[in-house]
Structures are given as C-alpha cells and as structure tokens.
Amino acid sequence: MTTMSEREAAREVSGLWWVFLVTGILWLIISLVVLRFDDRSITTVGVIIGVVFAVACVNEFVTMGLVQTWKWLHALLGVVFALGALWAFIQPEEAFWALASVLGFLLIFKGAIDIIEATMTKEYNHLWGLGLAAGIIEVLLGFWASQQYYPARAALIIIWVGFMALFRGIGEIVIAFRVRAEHKHLSAT
C-alpha cells in the first residue's frame, strides 16, 4: 500500500519518461556511428572514453565532499580522471589505441570478477549460471585479445562498444515506454 504523497511523487518522476527515450535514441545513433568501422568509429570510441573519465572525475569530487576520510585519495583520483578525460577529448584516436593495448587485461580482470560474483551469489541468484558463462567467455576473449595484433583488438573494441550501445539504446527505449505506461496509469487514478 502506498501513501498519496508516494503516489504523487511516482507520478511526477514517471513524467520524465521521455528522458529514457532521448538517451535511447542517442545510444542508437552512437551504435550506428561506431559499427560503420571507419575512422569515425575510432574517434567516437575515444570520445566515449573521455565522457566516462569525465563522469568518473565528477563522481570522485562528489564522493570527496561526502566522506570523512581518504579525501586526498578521491581528490587525486578526480585529478587523474580529469587529465584522462582531457587527453581523450584532445586525442580520441590515441585514447582508443591505448584502450586496445590493455583490452586483454581488462577482459581477463572483468571476467574473473564476474566468475567470482556468480559463484558467490548462486544461493540467491537464480541466473548465476549466466553470469558464470559470461565471465568465462570474457576470460577466454581476454586471452585471445592479448595474443592478437592491434587491428584484431580494434575490431573487437568496435564490435563490443557498438553492440553495447545498440542494446543499451533498445533497453532505454523499452524502459521509456514502460515508464510512460506507468505514468498514464498513475495519472488516471
């Protein structure tokens, strides 16, 4: 049972359903640009790296303002992320190739974390096997990417980022219409 103020708050928040629609369309546009496999793909991925670094920078400085200890570490990380974002925006192609050079390590690391998480949560996560399979595939891809030349790594990054953006865009558009339907339902009652 929800109170009237909770229902009103939910109605107001669900009125922003169009934000998911806009971001979903933007993700679809990014996927189209990246999956063209040309120079714009490399530049787009480099700029995305810059955006990720910029968001991480803001996150570290906000965290620094909220915590009581280790403020200096959050400030240092914020500065490092700011410098990384600046570098990625100025030289997006170089940021792309830097990512390609460490791709194997990142995949092995991420896969190991997914394997550990899946096995640790199997008692209450009914889809733990899916996480385990994804982790194993990531580790295998990491070993494969570590043995390949830059063109193979570049193709793997472009495919990965392109499909991630495509699926993210589709997911956000689906969420937009779900939230819109809920908004109509909340407005009617």
pLDDT at 1 over 70: no
pLDDT at 90 over 90: yes
Mean pLDDT of 72-95: 94
CB 140 within 8 A of CB 110: no
What tens digit of pLDDT does each residue of 105-163 get?
Answer: 888 999 999 999 999 999 988 889 998 999 999 899 888 888 767 677 788 888 888 88
- In order of 19, 37, 171, 172, the CA distances from 13 in angstroms are 11, 39, 19, 16
Q: How far apart are CA 104 and CA 148, in angstroms?
A: 9
Give residue 98's Cα distance to chain centre. Answer: 18
Closest CA to 154 of 98, 107, 86: 98
pLDDT at 84 over 60: yes
Furthest-apart CA atoms within the chain: distance in Å: 60
Tokens standing for residue 45: 């991925």
pTM assigned to the model: 0.67
Q: What confidence tier does 62 reach under pLDDT thresholds 50, 70, 90?
A: very high
Q: How far apart are CA 57 and CA 85, in angstroms?
A: 8
